[in-house]
């Protein structure tokens, strides 16, 4: 027997020992053993087994040896996971003896085998043998319980399901070696909480029904207690629950709680509930197997009733769809049926009360009267006298079909125009209605009349009375506007557009007829009137008509039946014609007429202008005299510093210099043309103002000392007073400035070339004492 075989037997014996968990002494292993003459490279050494959870450590697993060298001249080592790789330090080796030790407790569920490499070196460190593999297998122990995947398994099955129907599957796992019994699981049902209705497959965990008679209406949910055990059912166990819900089927039909229902309904109303038809159904509330749906089988051919389902209680609610009438039918006998929305299951028992009789008594109530015609339309002539009959607005009472119990009254009559006979409904006017009433809409007047019966409480009907007010032609048309102007030239211009208005409404108004008054036939000789449209006509002169106001008499007629007409005066102002035949504006006309003005008129105008100028001059002079004492007090006040009050006095010559705004010469020549034979009285003559320009005086230099200011001003004032060419600075006004190109020329052209020496102001003395000073200043004597 060769050495290899011996080793194999040794190993076998050792492996068996380990699997029993009782390791014997370490066996020697010759991993590099060679059969002479045969080279066995990569010799696979059988694996070494060691049980997990072995606690007596360190424990000598095996001894490796090389048969090449003597003991003591070889150094052994191992490498690999469990030695110098994670998990480190599980195994170690005695480098001289070659004994391999287990240093830690093993867990097969973490690492089930280790693969190490063994080396044999000489003392010098050189390799004696090729490295070889050493495999250590961890042997399983039943150290893990089975575990259910869920704590509670849920399943559904229809009630009444056949035996063997799959419900759900329970699953468990076991961490132990699945190759061994340690992980061989077996399922079972420990408790069912009642009769044995479910079974579980012990190998697969599938739960199925085993019996008929699952009834949701008896038990809706089953709670099974499940167990799983390893070691084929003898080992460790775990527990879970299975909740099995029975799903509803429509195995119960809805049934009325009674065979007959007695209800009462009110007549003449619709949409009201009459009563409830209670039903019961054992199926799942809220599901289509439970919800009732009702139908009326017979007794309601006219569709007076409808039934809807109360979603909360499943009862049928009978309501009135069309108003009931006690007088035509006092008792309705209905046959109603109920069923589910979902079809009934074939296995369900036939319902006993799937139909019921419903008796509905109709109560008599007081119904409102009704107007025979509503709204009632009628018509009445405009301005109808008080007491005029309008209409009879009568109603009937559906309860009794009698008329005499009703009474009538007004509800709405904004003009308080109508009067209602309370007993008969006859309506007449109380007074005349104003045609201008705001309640007259497009010729219609609306009133509301009530008809009430004498029951208590009374019922009332509301009727609308619409009265058309028929227009009467009581107004003649009126010229609008009653005056106008036109060009008197017959060939030119559009003439005068005449309009008219009429207070009546159509058909008693337009079209209007315009006519020159037939009473004044000579009018038609000079004027013509042509109709433009329904409301307008055009007046034109036939011949050239003198300018000025003409009063024409016109006859206007409307189209009413009978027509109304009226003679009216029209003020026509015949104006001066413009080129296009329109009227020239007033001032333009005057200018156009300027050439033709008589000389007398011109002289009168010029004289008026001269007088106005003179008056202005006088007013200015007066103003200057009045100012002088004021100046004195200002300048000689004992405490006043004159510099506070005198400003810019070197502008005194501004009136003379300021000639851009107007030609001041025009103001200095106020003498009208004296036409021969036209006395003008004594014309105002001036002899002071020169007609030529005086050169403006050079501005005087300021005094060097403030004490000289008063003298300086006084000198300035005297110079100004002595300067006759300067009109008062603040009273010069432009009162008329003629434009260029006038035939009459400018006013200044009227001036004579008289020198101022020739003029005399002596007459000023005649004007009274107030003018004596003027006369002193300007007069010769």
Ligand X SMILES: *[C@@H]1O[C@H](CO)[C@@H](O)[C@H](O)[C@H]1NC(C)=O
On the question of a cis peptide bond just before residue 481, with omega within 30 degrees of 0, the verdict is yes
Should residue 535 be labelled a site residue for ligand X when binding is judged by CB under 6 A?
A: yes
Which span sits near ligand X by CB under 6 A: 396-404, 436-444, 518-526, 740-748? 518-526
Of 2, 86, 151, 522, the one binding ligand X by CB under 6 A: 522
CA distances from 502 to 434, 439, 444 (A): 17, 21, 20
**Judged by CB, which is closer to ligand X: 24, or 482?**
482
The closest alpha carbon to 321, from 289, 288, 360, belongs to: 360
Q: Is 566 in the site for ligand X (CB under 6 A)?
A: no
How many angstroms separate the CA atoms of 726 and 56, rounded? 149
Alpha carbon of 250 to those of 160, 200, 318, 338, 342: distances in Å? 11, 28, 25, 14, 7
The minimum distance between CB 228 and ligand X, in angstroms, equals 16
CB 713 within 8 A of CB 646: yes
Q: Does 515 bind ligand X (CB under 6 A)?
A: no
Q: What are phi and psi of 144, to 5 degrees?
A: -130, 135
Is the CB of 549 or the CB of 734 nearer to ligand X?
549
Q: Which is nearer to ligand X, 533 or 705 (CB)?
A: 533
Residue closer to ligand X, measured from CB, 526 or 748 = 526
Contact residue for ligand X among 533, 704, 705, 707 (CB under 6 A): 533
What is the b/e burial string over 69-102, where b = at least 16 CB atoms within 10 angstroms of the residue's CB?
Answer: eeeeebbbebebbbbeeeeeebbebeeeebbbbb
568 binds ligand X (CB under 6 A): no
CA 735 – CA 731 distance, rounded (Å): 11
C-beta of 383 vs 490, nearer to ligand X = 490
Of 522 and 740, the one with the shorter C-beta distance to ligand X is 522
Compute CA distances 143 → 48, 87, 90, 108, whole Å. 21, 21, 20, 10
Tell me the C-alpha distance between 145 and 174, whole Å.
6
Minimal distance in Å, beta carbon 580 to ligand X? 18
> Which residue is it, tokens 């039909």?
253
**Residue 18 DSSP code:** H
Binding of ligand X by 223 (CB under 6 A): yes
Peptide bond into 719 cis (omega under 30): no
Nearer residue to ligand X within complex by CB, 3 or 569: 569
58 upstream amide cis, omega within 30 of 0? yes
- Residue window 352-391: x/- pattern of binding to ligand X, with contact defined by CB under 6 A: ----------------------------------------
Q: Which stretch binds ligand X (CB under 6 A): 87-95, 128-136, 207-215, 521-529?
A: 521-529
E strand or H helix that includes residue 332: strand 331-340
Nearest-approach distance from CB 551 to ligand X, in angstroms: 6
> In terms of CB distance, is 535 or 666 closer to ligand X?
535
| Nearest distance in Å: CB 187, ligand X | 17
State which residue, 459 or 513, has the beta carbon closest to ligand X.
513
Does 190 interact with ligand X (rule: CB under 6 A)? no
Look up residue 584 and give its DSSP letter.
P
Helix residue spans in 559-645 (DSSP H): 586-594, 599-636
- The kind and range of the H/E element at 746 are none
One of 526, 553, 568, 748 touching ligand X (CB under 6 A):
526
State the nearest-atom distance from the C-beta of 193 to ligand X, in Å: 7
Q: What is the dihedral of CA 337, 339, 341, 347, to 10 degrees?
A: -160
Does residue 276 touch ligand X according to CB under 6 A?
A: no
Residues 570-589 that bind ligand X (CB under 6 A): 571
Q: Which listed range, 278-286, 345-353, 544-552, 773-781, lies at the site for ligand X (CB under 6 A)?
A: 544-552
Q: Does 151 bind ligand X (CB under 6 A)?
A: no
The one segment of 305-313, 364-372, 532-540, 678-686 that binds ligand X by CB under 6 A: 532-540
Cα Rg of the chain (Å, integer): 69
DSSP run (H or E) holding 478: strand 478-479
List 22, 346, 546, 595, residue binding ligand X (CB under 6 A) = 546
- Does position 534 interact with ligand X (CB under 6 A)? The reply is yes
Cα gap 445→381, rounded to integer Å: 12
For position 523 contacting ligand X by CB under 6 A, the verdict is yes
Query: Residue 778, interface with ligand X (CB under 6 A)?
Result: no
Is 532 a binding residue for ligand X by CB under 6 A? The answer is: yes
Contact code string over 233-272 relative to ligand X, x by CB under 6 A:
--------x-x-----------------------------
Burial pattern 170-193, b for ≥16 Cβ within 10 A else e, equals bbbebbbbeebebbbbbbebeebe
Residue from 482, 507, 600, 706 touching ligand X (CB under 6 A): that is 482
End-to-end CA distance of the chain: give it in Å, rounded: 192
Shortest Å distance, C-beta 524 to ligand X? 9
- Counting contacts by CB under 6 A, is residue 540 touching ligand X? no
Other residues' Cβ atoms within 10 Å of the Cβ of residue 268: 20
Would you count residue 408 as binding ligand X (CB under 6 A)?
no
Could you tell me the sign of the dihedral formed by the alpha carbons of 377, 379, 382, 388, in that order? negative
Do residues 727 and 655 make contact, with C-beta atoms less than 8 angstroms apart? Answer: yes
Q: Would you say 244 and 153 are in contact if contact means Cβ atoms under 8 Å apart?
A: no
Q: Does 536 bind ligand X (CB under 6 A)?
A: yes
Closer CB to ligand X, 42 or 586, in the complex: 586
483 binds ligand X (CB under 6 A): yes
By C-alpha distance, which of 317, 319, 324, 295 is closest to 305?
319
Stretch that binds ligand X, among 381-389, 436-444, 525-533, 595-603 (CB under 6 A): 525-533
Please, which residue, 447 or 500, has the CB nearer to ligand X? Answer: 500
Residue 713 in tokens = 């001003």
Q: Does 519 bind ligand X (CB under 6 A)?
A: no
Does 702 bind ligand X (CB under 6 A)? Our answer is no
Q: Which residues bind ligand X (CB under 6 A)?
A: 223, 241, 243, 482-483, 497, 522-523, 525-526, 532-536, 545-546, 549, 571
């Amino acid at each position: 027997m060769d050495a290899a075989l011996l080793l194999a037997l040794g190993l076998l014996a050792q492996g068996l020992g380990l699997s029993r968990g009782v390791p014997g002494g370490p066996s020697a292993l010759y991993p590099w053993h060679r059969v002479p003459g045969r080279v066995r490279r990569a010799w696979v050494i059988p694996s070494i087994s060691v049980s997990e959870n072995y606690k007596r450590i360190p424990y000598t697993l095996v001894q490796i040896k090389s048969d090449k060298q003597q003991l003591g001249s070889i150094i052994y080592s191992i490498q690999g996971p469990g030695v110098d790789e994670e998990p480190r330090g599980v195994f170690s080796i005695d480098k001289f003896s070659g004994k391999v030790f287990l240093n830690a407790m093993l867990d097969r569920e973490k690492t089930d085998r280790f693969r190490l490499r063994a080396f044999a070196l000489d003392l010098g460190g050189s390799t004696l043998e090729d490295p070889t593999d050493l495999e250590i297998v961890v042997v399983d122990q039943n150290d893990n319980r089975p575990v259910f995947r869920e704590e509670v398994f849920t399943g559904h099955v229809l009630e009444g399901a056949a035996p063997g129907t799959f419900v759900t599957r329970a699953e468990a796992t076991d961490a132990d070696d699945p190759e061994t019994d340690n992980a061989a699981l077996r399922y079972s049902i420990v408790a069912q909480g009642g009769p044995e209705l479910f079974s579980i497959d012990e190998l697969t965990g599938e739960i199925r029904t085993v019996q008929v008679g699952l009834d949701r209406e008896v038990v809706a949910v089953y709670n099974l207690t499940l167990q799983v055990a390893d070691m084929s059912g003898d080992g460790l166990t775990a527990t879970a629950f299975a909740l099995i819900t029975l799903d509803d089927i429509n195995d119960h039909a809805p049934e009325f709680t009674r065979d007959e229902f007695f209800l009462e309904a009110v007549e003449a109303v619709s949409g009201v509930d009459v009563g409830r038809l209670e039903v019961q159904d054992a199926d799942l509330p809220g599901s289509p197997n439970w919800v009732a749906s009702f139908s009326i089988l017979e007794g309601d051919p006219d569709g007076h009733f409808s039934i809807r389902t109360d979603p909360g209680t499943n009862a049928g609610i009978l309501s009135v769809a069309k108003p009931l009438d006690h007088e035509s039918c006092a008792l309705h006998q209905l046959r109603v049926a109920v069923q589910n929305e979902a079809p009934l299951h074939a296995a369900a028992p036939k319902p006993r009360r799937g139909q019921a009789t419903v008796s509905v008594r109709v109560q008599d109530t007081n119904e409102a009267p009704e107007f025979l015609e509503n709204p009632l339309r009628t018509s009445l002539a405009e301005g109808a006298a008080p007491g005029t009959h309008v209409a009879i607005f009568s109603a009937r009472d559906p309860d009794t079909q009698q008329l005499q119990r009703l009474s009538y009254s007004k509800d709405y009559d904004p003009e308080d125009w109508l009067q209602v006979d309370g007993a008969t409904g006859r309506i007449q006017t109380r007074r005349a209605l104003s045609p201008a009433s705001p309640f007259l809409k497009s010729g219609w007047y609306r009133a509301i009349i009530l008809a009430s019966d004498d029951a208590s409480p009374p019922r009332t009907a509301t009727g609308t009375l619409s009265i058309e007010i028929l227009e009467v032609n009581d107004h003649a048309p009126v010229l609008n506007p009653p005056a106008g102007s036109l060009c008197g030239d017959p060939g030119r211009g559009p003439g005068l557009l005449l309009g008219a208005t009429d207070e009546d409404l159509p058909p008693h108004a337009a079209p209007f007829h315009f006519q020159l008054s037939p009473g004044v036939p000579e009018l038609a000789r000079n004027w013509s009137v042509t109709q433009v449209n329904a409301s307008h006509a055009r007046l034109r002169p036939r011949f050239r008509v003198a300018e000025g106001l003409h009063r024409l008499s016109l006859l206007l007629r409307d189209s009413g039946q009978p027509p109304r007409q009226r003679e009216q005066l029209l003020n026509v102002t015949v104006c001066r014609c413009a080129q296009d035949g329109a009227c020239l504006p007033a001032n333009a006309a005057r200018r156009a007429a300027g050439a033709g003005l008589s000389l007398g008129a011109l002289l009168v105008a010029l004289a008026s202008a001269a007088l106005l100028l003179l008056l202005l001059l006088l007013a200015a002079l007066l103003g200057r005299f009045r100012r002088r004492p004021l100046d004195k007090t200002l300048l000689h006040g004992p405490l006043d510093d004159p510099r506070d009050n005198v400003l810019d006095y070197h502008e005194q010559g501004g009136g003379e210099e300021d000639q851009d705004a107007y030609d001041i010469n025009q103001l200095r020549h106020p003498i009208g043309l004296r036409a021969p034979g036209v006395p003008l009285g004594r014309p105002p003559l001036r002899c002071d103002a020169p007609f030529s320009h005086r050169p403006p005086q050079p501005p005087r230099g300021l005094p060097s000392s403030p004490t000289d200011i008063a003298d300086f001003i006084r000198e300035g004032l005297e110079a100004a007073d002595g300067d006759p060419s300067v009109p008062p600075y603040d009273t010069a006004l432009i009162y008329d400035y003629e434009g260029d190109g006038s035939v009459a020329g400018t006013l200044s052209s009227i001036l004579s070339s008289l020198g101022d020496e020739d003029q005399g102001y002596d007459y000023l003395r005649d004007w009274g004492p107030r003018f004596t000073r003027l006369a002193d200043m300007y007069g010769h004597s």
